[in-house]
Amino acid sequence: MIDPFTTAVGLAAKLLGDAFGPKLKAWAKGSEPRQLVKLLKAEHPAAPKLLLQPAVLLELWWYSRYGELREAELLAALRPIVADAQERQALADAIRTTQWRVVPRDAQLHWELLCLRRELQEAQAAGHVALLTEMEAAIERALAAVRPRLSVVRGLLAETDPFVDRDSELAEADACIADDGGPEEASARVLSCSGMPGVGSSALGLRLAHRHAERFPGGALYADFRRANGEQRSPEEVAAQLLRDVGVVPEAIPSDATAQLGTLRSLLAETPFLLLLDNVRQEEDVRPLIPANRASVVIATSGAALAGITIARLVPLRPLADADGLALLRRLVGPRVTQQPDAAGEIVRACQGLPLALSLAGARLRRRPQLTLSAYARTLADERQRLASLADGKRALSAAFAASTSGLGQPERRLLLLLAALDVGVIEPSICAALLDGEEAAATAALEGLEDEGLLTSAADGRWSMHGLLRLWARECAERELEQDVITSANDRRVRWLVEAANARSTGTPVED
């Protein structure tokens, strides 16, 4: 005897093509609804027809996956199959008492429903509207039922370090998050918190995320683009992590990287989420993760401002003023700062406004209560010991610098090390061209690359500057990585350029590169 369900499924699969056909065939072969029909058809002649009605099929699938029979929806879906109301009720009761269901988590069920709806929409776009309208409506009802039961994801790290100042940056960022952009905006709001390594962009992003997390029904998600060894993760890796965070079981995550990103965007488009993307390297890391939901917010922390994302609000961070640095050290160390104000001031100045350096200094003093602030200040005053003393266990300022420079190109890294090794104070393209023994255009590109990574700061006069602690670290790297004759040759070219520049100023002749 020909199985009418198999016949109907085969025809429907052929009509629907690659988008929805395979899913429908999977339902037909060994699915829980079909197992149910086999159990019921002996006592209920109408049972085989259950699998011919899309709305009934979805109700049975829902029951199999969640273990809840939505009786009103099922009875309405049975009406075209069973005319008599008592027979419909009897069939619904029989379905309820048959033990055959498998119960997953709400988050997994929600994900499966979203995937089904996306495939239905793809099939509708191909022109198969009439066959799918009823099932799509049923899926929408199922989504409306499961969403209120979803747990809110709270994946943010805890704030473990004190936070001072940044009032103006917080106010600007708060205004951006509060502004939903209006109905014409189709994408999430993006906030770019940027600054040099150790300046506190991650801490600011985390503070903002905690301040606003309760406003997002979907929850707040956190992803670090930097691995523990300093290597960068890809957007696809981050997407797979976020899918797991919102409840998708690993075996259900698509193996294809592009599909992972698409599935994540589909999920994030449903409900407003807050995403904190930490240690982003470049704009291309963020673009594929931005939800198409104007009620969502993406906070990205990076060395460089993500200016190429035109919808992003840029929030650059500068090193702390001495007064704020002293306030941070006081919160870390306590009364000892008040008791030894001069030594505390020296420590703050040695840390040069970097919250990470101050945090490491405070941790070192807390761990060693017998260490006086005066003795520690003397250690930090010695440039040869300063970086080694700004460390606490596995945390170290040098490690932050190393991670932030690991992705530099060869010209940028070479220039950074030469600038530090020769202690170049006035950094401008012409002298950098001399150091690199190249054209000024190439030197400018290298300078801008370093600025893009948050390693140099540009001024209005066309010059750049390097933070003192970063300069110390780069000088140590130069001693390890560069041959002495390389440094000597670069210095000879710099001296020659300086002499030519001085002669040119006295005669009014332009200096050639």
Q: Residue 499 domain-assigned?
A: yes
Q: Give the model's pLDDT for residue 200.
A: 94
Q: What is the DSSP letter of 471?
A: H
pTM of the predicted model, to two decimals?
A: 0.77
Q: Are residues 267 and 342 in the same domain?
A: no
Mean pLDDT across the chain: 85
* Distance from the Cα of residue 263 to its chain's centroid: 16
The string over 202-241, giving b where at least 16 C-beta atoms fall within 10 Å of a residue's C-beta and e elsewhere, is bbbbbbbbbebbeebebbbbbbbbbeeeeebbebbebbbb
Q: Give the residue numbers spanning the domain of 240.
A: 153-316
Q: Residue 107 domain-assigned?
A: yes
pLDDT tens per residue across span 70-86? 899 899 989 988 989 99
* Whole-Å CA distances, 422 to 317, 369, 478, 489: 28, 38, 10, 11
Q: Give the model's pLDDT for residue 16.
A: 47
**Boundary of a domain, candidates 401, 432, 451:** 401
SS3 label, residue 150: coil
Contacts of 217 (CB under 8 A, 6+ apart): 152, 271, 272
Distance CA 293, CA 313 (A): 17
SS3 label, residue 157: coil
Q: Give the model's pLDDT for residue 8.
A: 47
Q: Residue 122 domain-assigned?
A: yes
Find the mean pLDDT for residues 334-359.
95
pLDDT tens per residue across span 390-437? 999 889 999 999 999 988 999 999 999 999 999 998 899 999 999 999
Query: Using an 8 Å Cβ cutoff, are 388 and 476 in contact?
Result: no
Query: Using an 8 Å Cβ cutoff, are 146 and 113 in contact?
Result: yes
Q: Are residues 441 and 476 in the same domain?
A: yes
Distance CA 42, CA 62 (A): 23
Q: Residue 513 domain-assigned?
A: no
Query: Given pLDDT bands bounded at 50, 70 and 90, which one contains residue 3?
Result: very low
CATH code assigned at 483: 1.10.10.10
Helix 129-146, helix 106-125: angle, nearest 10: 160
**Boundary of a domain, candidates 297, 316, 335:** 316
| pLDDT over 70 percentage in the chain | 87
pLDDT exceeds 60 at position 103: no
Tell me the sheet residues that pair with 312: 190
Q: How many domains are there within the chain? A: 4
Distance CA 460, CA 463 (A): 7
**Boundary of a domain, candidates 299, 316, 333:** 316
pLDDT exceeds 50 at position 30: no
Which one is predicted more confidently, 23 or 256? 256
